Structure 1
């Protein structure tokens, strides 16, 4: 994607590719100049925020040393860190025509140094002019990448009036964003997208059957032996609750949350109003309890 966009109107993020620690270190030095601000380093073949790190000149040596040789061989992408609010754009392309399904807001935006996503709300409430600009620019991106069929998930950042393309994927969004779209829109975009990919008749309905909001929130932690994992029974009384799940049980060892695969629990809710949904989401999270003993305490026991 970065190579395809290079030099064009959509190319707004400084970046370099690296295949060894020496070239990666040089990229960190170059892209953090002259401000000295940290940069983002991520494996080109990565997924689920795995090994996405904020790297400064001072920390570059230690962090780059932590990447396995396989990740280096596959390539690292070093990018300037972009500030602003983070969203993802969900689209489906049918017979070369792109359709905007909606924009997903990142709840509790990912924070350094690991940038683990803690929740999503679909659809994001954006002004019509902003939404139209996002749509037009994403459609330009899909044309540039020769996308003609199927679902795509594009991550962006909005910094003032500027929209920055972070990365795009010719697949549905992870973190059950596909489920949020089903709940909010009342259709199955994945089924429609795959029908198009298989050469079968595929089309969006002339009007969406539903007009609701849906959200997912994850519980994160520092990890350790799990001494307690429970869902308060009253969680079932929260309006719009679709699913609540513990990802680690008592007696297991939960890892510290460093990527999408090490979060500890999640809830999914839906509702007709955004404000009420946000409140219900917080209430649902408060009724999940996962207690991890510190490693030192566990060892003494």
Structure 2
């Protein structure tokens, strides 16, 4: 079988490696600069992913059987375009675009049984209608352009911060207190499978930078069960059909609020590493099987724990924890150069300095 992979950044590395393990012939389309996946694929085309028609022409010429990418909003739309044009297993491009529109998904969520509505409106000038609130670009991910606001001065500053992003449409929504989780799913022909729920650690206000993720979530069993019922309804309501999705929620008591839907696997090592480490289900392989139309319903093994910790200026206190992790049986990977200890004061996920991935029979915390 023949698979097109869109993008060659680190986010696609595990897809390329897994396809090779599966004996699948691969074509990869990406800029040559920074293409870490180049040597993992059978054919590499140094073409910008903005060259949609040329990539489609090559895919047709090569008679591909599927097309896939992961953990990237930029590539997911092109994947949808090629799949739709070639009648392959994918989700329609219009749906991918709709899930990136936070106003649209917010409206859909108001009518899903099990989700609690949130007050919101599209910003068109003026002062906020309520405090506290969160300002965010309507499309966007990775916490880019997101701010917490509790005064008119903060509101003006947050609007300027959001307007600096490429997309200028801005959403103002009620600030919800509580814990944040994400839901990792895989869908095939409109059937949705909840694979794992992830606990998130963030800086909180004002920019909600993500500092760690842990699986499985420690939400109460009744909340877990409600999430597993609600998310398939939500994905069906927006028209999502095929592939991985990463849906972010806030939990406050018994109330479950939608934050956003991402029509892709979760970044921050969640989809590429943590899901398989905690469940035993080969999530990346599942994405490839969906794309190729050979998907089988997933089975998970006994409960294990996995997670990722990030370093930046806000988590400088974790440096001793990182250093002491070397040689521990639970350490899967660490990427941090301690000889250059300067840490970034990050406001976006992409600005963090290094990370550490673990797997264990319990949640790993400082002191383990």
Name the TM-score, length of structure 2 as normaliser: 0.63
Alignment CA distance shift 1:24-1:102 (3 Å) = farther
Residue 96 of structure 1: aligned partner = 190
Alignment CA distance shift 1:69-1:175 (3 Å) = closer
What are the within-5 Å matches in structure 2 for residues 88-167 of structure 1? 88-107=182-201, 109-167=202-260
Q: Deviations over 1:147-178 (max 9, x none)?
A: 12111111111111111011111111111111
User: 1:43 aligned to 2:137?
Assistant: yes
Structure 1: which 5+ runs fail to align?
Answer: 285-301
What are the within-5 Å matches in structure 2 for residues 1-301 of structure 1? 1-6=105-110, 9=113, 10=115, 12-18=117-123, 23-26=124-127, 29-30=128-129, 32=130, 37-56=131-150, 57-68=152-163, 71=166, 74-107=168-201, 109-178=202-271, 179-196=273-290, 198-205=291-298, 207-209=299-301, 211-221=303-313, 232=323, 234-246=324-336, 250=340, 254-272=343-361, 274=362, 277-278=363-364, 281-283=365-367
The answer to whether the Cα contact below 8 Å between 1:218 and 1:266 also exists between their aligned partners in 2 is yes
- CA distance in 1 between counterparts of 2:211 and 2:196 reads 19
Q: Could you say what secondary structure the match of 1:59 adopts?
A: helix
Q: Could you say what secondary structure the match of 2:222 adopts?
A: helix
- CA distance in 1 between counterparts of 2:165 and 2:227 reads 36
Structure 2: which 5+ runs fail to align?
Answer: 1-104
Q: Which of the two has greater helix per residue?
A: 2
TM-fit CA distance, 1:267: 0.9
Q: Could you say what secondary structure the match of 2:196 adopts?
A: strand
- CA distance in 2 between counterparts of 1:169 and 1:151 reads 9
- CA distance in 1 between counterparts of 2:174 and 2:294 reads 42
- Number of positions where the alignment pairs a residue of Structure 1 with one of Structure 2: 259
- CA distance in 2 between counterparts of 1:145 and 1:85 reads 24
Residue 45 of structure 2: aligned partner = none
The answer to whether the Cα contact below 8 Å between 1:88 and 1:103 also exists between their aligned partners in 2 is yes
Alignment CA distance shift 1:95-1:247 (3 Å) = farther
Q: Which of the two has greater strand per residue?
A: 1
Q: Deviations over 1:65-115 (max 9, x none)?
A: 3444664x54111111001111111111122211110110113x4311111
Where does structure 1 differ by over 6 angstroms across 4 or more consecutive aligned residues?
228-231
Q: Deviations over 1:125-163 (max 9, x none)?
A: 333322111111111101101112111111111111111
Aligned-CA RMSD value: 2.8
Q: Could you say what secondary structure the match of 1:93 adopts?
A: strand
Name the TM-score, length of structure 1 as normaliser: 0.76
TM-fit CA distance, 1:63: 3.0
- CA distance in 2 between counterparts of 1:204 and 1:237 reads 37
